[in-house]
Structure 1
Amino acid sequence: MRNLLMATVFGLAMVTAAQAEPVRMSVGSYNLNNLPFPVAESLGFYKEEGLDVTIENFAQGGSKVLQALVAGSTDVAVGFYDHTIQMQSQGKHVIGFVQLARNSGLVLAGKNDTDFDPAKPETIKGKSVGITAPGSSSDFFIRYYLKQHGLTDNDISIIGVGSGAAAVAALQQGKIDLLVNYDPAATIVVERGLGKILIDARSDEGAKAVYGGIYPTSVLYANQDFIDKHPEVIQKVTNATLKALHWMKAHSAEEIVARLPDDFVSGDKKTYIKAVDNAKAIFSEDGKFVPADLETPLAVLKSFNDSVAKATIDLNTTYTNKFVEASKQTVQN
């Protein structure tokens, strides 16, 4: 009887695994803007939805994920909303379907003895500035800052340094003078006494000061063709991700970090927990896109991206809320 029971359980597991729908998901880096994604994976929410997820982490930044999506080597990207605008200007239809981070999460940090003073923008001239990767939102951040203050990218050197520990090391080792990055790097720089935050766009107030408004960042996006052909997969990914957002809201930073895989945690755990606590305010509570907020990244891109400036961008076709609204996990306000 015991052998029969075990065989039955094993058979059911095999059937379940066989029925799981495969989906390839790629993430640009393990910065904290993307945190709901590894939370959903580590808590088994994608499996619960009947998905067999293959994950690829491009530590170089979100622009590499975008390239993979356009090339067809991944199905769903965990990346930044502004990439959907870029793609529309190039005639490609990339659609955001869940918002993870409703605000920038970016900071500009420098060593404690830096002579760069944000109140005197010209003091940035001659500096080497580390970003996650060319074409990333950290790249957009510094280019927009320069544009707003009558400067150009010829006034500085922009260097891709990745995120997390690699970004912190680049500042610590003097490979760069300033760093534009996310948590956990932002918190690690301060907690270790390596430097200070000079411009902070993690709060709503900081984002409005830098960009003129709320700047949505991390989202789940996919090609329109994939969404049209596999709406059931997109719905399941949405359901799982919303479970993660709700779970994060109900749990402390310490509880969140305890459930993460070891390779996601940068630096010592105590500092990382503090970084998660600092970042919690940027996450969406319901996964929905707010149309008015999407005007901010469009304005930023138009300021220095010629292809976006020349194109007629219809923001309504860069995102959809229908999968979030259809999900049983949607927060009822």
Structure 2
Amino acid sequence: MRKYLLAATALCALAASANAESVRMSVGSYNLNNLPFPVAASLGYYKDEGLDVTTENFAQGGSKVLQALVAGSTDVAVGFYDHTIQMQSQNKHVVGFVMLARNSGLVLAGTNDTDFDPAKPETIKGKKVGITSPGSSSDFFIRYYLKQHNLSEDDISIIGVGSGAAAVAALQQGKIDLLVNYDPAATIVVERGLGKILIDARSDQGAKDVYGGIYPTSVLYATQEYIDANPEVVQKVTNATVRALHWMKAHSAEEIVEKLPDDFVSGDKQTYIKAVEAAKAIFSEDGKFVPGDLETPLMVLKSFNDAVAKATIDLNTTYTNTFVEATASKPAQ
């Protein structure tokens, strides 16, 4: 009898797998702003929703994911909200449907002997500044900093170095003088004694100091066409991701890291746990977009992006809370 039960269980599992809905999800990097996505996957929440998720990691940064989405080679992007504004200025309709990180998470770090002093912005002149990739939010960060202080992009060299260990190595090896990046890179730089954080936008106050307001970053977004054609899939993706946000809120950094695959963890485990602890404040608790906060990335992009500055941007069409609100009405799992 046990043999027949095992066989029946296996057949049920195969049937469930066969009936799973496929969705391609791409992530710009495994920086911690995107952490709710791998947490949801590791906890099996997408599978629980009957989804067969194919994941691609573009380590170069979120701009590569955006290109894949627009080209139709991925269905859902784990990327940054400001890209939805950028796309609207190009007459392309990309819509955020789950907020993952409600605040920036970005820092500007330098070597211990750097002579760059944020109180004297002109001291950045001549520096090689590492970002994740051209067109990414880290790129926007440094361009906005220059604009704020009447400096030119020609005053520095902007170099794409990726994120995580690759970004840290670029600073350590002297390929760059300054690094604009996220956790875990930010915490690794400090914990290993490789450098210091000079501008920190991880806290709400830090973001307000840098941008003048809260700067939402990581979201799940898709084209309006995909959302219209696949509302049930988008709802299931939302259900799983919001469930992960609730789980993260209720668990410690150490418990979160324990659920991640080993190849996701950059550097040594204890440093990574510290990085997750430092980043916990940036995560959304419910996945909802806060309309007032969306004004900040629009203002930043307008300051240096001519296409955005000249376009009439309707922020109401860059996001939807419809799917998150439907998730909130479901019984707790």
- State the distance in 2 between where 1:153 and 1:313 align: 25
Structure 2 match to 1:258: 258
Shift of 1:7: 2.5
Shift of 1:319: 0.1
Is 1:105–1:182's contact at 8 Å kept on the other side of the alignment? yes
Is 1:66–1:83's contact at 8 Å kept on the other side of the alignment? yes
Is 1:286–1:331's contact at 8 Å kept on the other side of the alignment? no
- Secondary structure at the aligned position of 1:109 is classed as strand
Structure 2 match to 1:214: 214
Structure 2 match to 1:19: 19
Report how many aligned residue pairs link the two structures.
332
Is 1:254–1:273's contact at 8 Å kept on the other side of the alignment? yes
- Secondary structure at the aligned position of 1:91 is classed as coil
Shift of 1:145: 0.1
Where does 1:194-209 land on structure 2 (aligned, <5 Å)? 194-209=194-209
Structure 2 match to 1:324: 324
Where does 1:152-167 land on structure 2 (aligned, <5 Å)? 152-167=152-167
Structure 2 match to 1:271: 271
Tell me the TM-score normalised to structure 1 length: 0.98
- Secondary structure at the aligned position of 2:151 is classed as coil
Shift of 1:3: 3.2
Post-superposition Cα deviations, 1:131-185, rounded to whole Å, max 9, x if no partner, equal 0000000000000000000001100000000000000000000000000000000
Structure 1 match to 2:224: 224
Give the direction of change, closer, same or farther, for the CA distance of 1:18–1:38 in structure 2 (3 Å limit): same
Shift of 1:330: 7.4
Q: Where in structure 2 are there 5+ consecutive unaligned residues?
A: none
Is 1:184–1:275's contact at 8 Å kept on the other side of the alignment? yes
Post-superposition Cα deviations, 1:32-65, rounded to whole Å, max 9, x if no partner, equal 0000000000000000000000000000000000
AA partner of residue 218 (structure 2)? S
- State the distance in 2 between where 1:32 and 1:243 align: 17
Post-superposition Cα deviations, 1:256-278, rounded to whole Å, max 9, x if no partner, equal 00000111100000000000000
- State the distance in 1 between where 2:258 and 2:152 align: 43
Give the direction of change, closer, same or farther, for the CA distance of 1:3–1:69 in structure 2 (3 Å limit): same
Structure 2 match to 1:283: 283
Post-superposition Cα deviations, 1:3-54, rounded to whole Å, max 9, x if no partner, equal 3322221221111111110000000000000000000000000000000000
- State the distance in 2 between where 1:228 and 1:51 align: 18
Where does 1:43-192 land on structure 2 (aligned, <5 Å)? 43-192=43-192
AA partner of residue 276 (structure 2)? V
Post-superposition Cα deviations, 1:280-299, rounded to whole Å, max 9, x if no partner, equal 00000000000000000000
- State the distance in 2 between where 1:98 and 1:309 align: 26
- State the distance in 2 between where 1:316 and 1:328 align: 21
Give the superposed CA RMSD. Answer: 1.2
- Secondary structure at the aligned position of 1:327 is classed as helix
Structure 1 match to 2:41: 41
- Secondary structure at the aligned position of 1:221 is classed as strand
Q: Percent identity?
A: 84
Q: Where in structure 1 are there 5+ consecutive unaligned residues?
A: none
- Secondary structure at the aligned position of 1:301 is classed as helix
- State the distance in 2 between where 1:3 and 1:156 align: 69
Tell me the TM-score normalised to structure 2 length: 0.98
